[in-house]
Every structure is written in C-alpha cells, then in structure tokens.
C-alpha cells in the first residue's frame, strides 16, 4: 500500500512540472505564434500539447516524459508551433502517376495545361465577372459559353464520347442476345473506312 501511495505522489509531483496554459501563452514565443495564427488556434495547440505531456507523465510516472534537455515550456511551445504548422500546411503534394491509368481519380484526374493555369491565375488576382453579364450589367450565369470554339481545339479535344450508357454491344463484345444478322452492326477496322 505504501508503494502505491508513493507512486501516486511521484505522479502528482511530476504533473506539477507541466506548466499552466496561462504561463505558456504569456511567453514571447507564444505571442509570436498568436500574431501568426490567432489566439484561439494557439491556445488550442498549447492545450493539446499540455494534455499529451500530462498523459506521458502519467504513463511513465516521472517528469522525464518532458524533454529533459530544455525547459519544458520551450519544448511544449515548439510542439504547439509544429502542430500549428502541420494543421495549416497543404496536404496536397506533387506525385508521379506510375499506375498506368491516365485520368486517375485519386491523383487529381489529369494535369492542368499551363495556359489554363495562367488564365486562372490572371482572373484570380482580382475581382471577376463570375455572375455578372458585363454587356447588360445584370446578373448572369456561372456557366457562360466557352471562349473558344471546339473546332479550334487540338484533334484530341474534338473527339466525342459515345452517347448513352455503355453496353456490351457498344464495347465490341458479343452479347448472347444478339441476333444472327447482327454482323452488319459490328465495327469496321480503321483501315476499312478509308
């Protein structure tokens, strides 16, 4: 029984080494974080770090759960700063599509052409007539006609997708329901149509 109460006292003593929120938020490093991120965001990150430190102390039963090389406040603020940077950083990263699937849903579909990126960047630098018809001054549509005609697009851009749902017949596979006279409906090789 004596060892259990001694362990409890050691844990409580170790928990006292974890600084209070008010002490951390008053430090110059925390004030710099507040200027960069906002007070509520910094407070939330500090509270998360403090909770993790308390859990580590309780798990080990001693203050060595905190970084012994530096003052605990500095270590906790560094952890809060790292947490804030991670939360605010973009999760998207450039990748290499080595799947063999050209338009891969999980890899952002397809790369955007440089002229399209330049056009988006140009419009995004300021206000744009998203729903304003400049000719009439009235509210317009978010889906205006394309600025280029389909005939001015490269050959690949003029290809038309087959209309309607894809069936086994449109995919060129035989279907058990086809009649014997359906051979006339089958696709011709590319050389036969020339």
Whole-number pLDDT of residue 141: 75
Q: Residue 143 domain-assigned? A: no
CA atoms within 13 A on the CB side of 8: 5
Whole-number pLDDT of residue 148: 63
Whole-number pLDDT of residue 185: 40
Q: Residue 22 domain-assigned? A: yes
Q: Residue 45 domain-assigned? A: yes
Give CA–CA dist 12/92, Å, rounded.
43
Q: Which domain holds residue 37?
A: 2-87
| Tally of domains within the chain | 1
Q: Residue 153 domain-assigned? A: no
Whole-number pLDDT of residue 151: 62
Ranges of residues in the chain with a pLDDT under 50 are 68-70, 157-159, 168-194
Whole-number pLDDT of residue 150: 58
Q: Residue 164 domain-assigned? A: no
Q: Residue 7 domain-assigned? A: yes
Q: Residue 52 domain-assigned? A: yes
Whole-number pLDDT of residue 112: 86
- The packing angle between helices 28-36 and 72-88, to 10°, is 10
Length of the chain: 194
Q: Residue 192 domain-assigned? A: no
């Amino acid at each position: 029984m004596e060892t259990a109460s001694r362990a409890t006292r050691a844990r409580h003593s170790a928990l006292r080494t974890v600084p209070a929120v008010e002490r951390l938020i008053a430090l110059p490093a925390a004030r710099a974080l507040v200027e960069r991120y906002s007070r509520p965001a910094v407070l939330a990150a500090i509270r998360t770090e403090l909770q993790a430190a308390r859990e580590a102390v309780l798990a080990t039963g001693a203050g060595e759960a905190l970084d012994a090389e530096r003052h605990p406040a500095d270590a906790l603020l560094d952890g809060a700063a790292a947490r804030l940077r991670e939360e605010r950083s973009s999760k998207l990263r450039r990748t290499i599509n080595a799947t063999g699937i050209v338009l891969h849903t999980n890899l952002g579909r397809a790369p955007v052409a440089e002229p399209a990126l330049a056009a988006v960047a140009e419009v995004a630098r300021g206000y744009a007539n998203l729903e304003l018809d400049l000719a009439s001054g009235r509210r317009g549509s978010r889906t205006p006609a394309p600025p280029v005609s389909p005939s001015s697009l490269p050959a690949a851009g003029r290809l038309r997708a087959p209309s309607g749902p894809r069936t086994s017949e449109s995919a060129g596979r035989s279907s058990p329901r086809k009649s014997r006279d359906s051979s006339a409906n089958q696709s011709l090789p590319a050389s036969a149509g020339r």
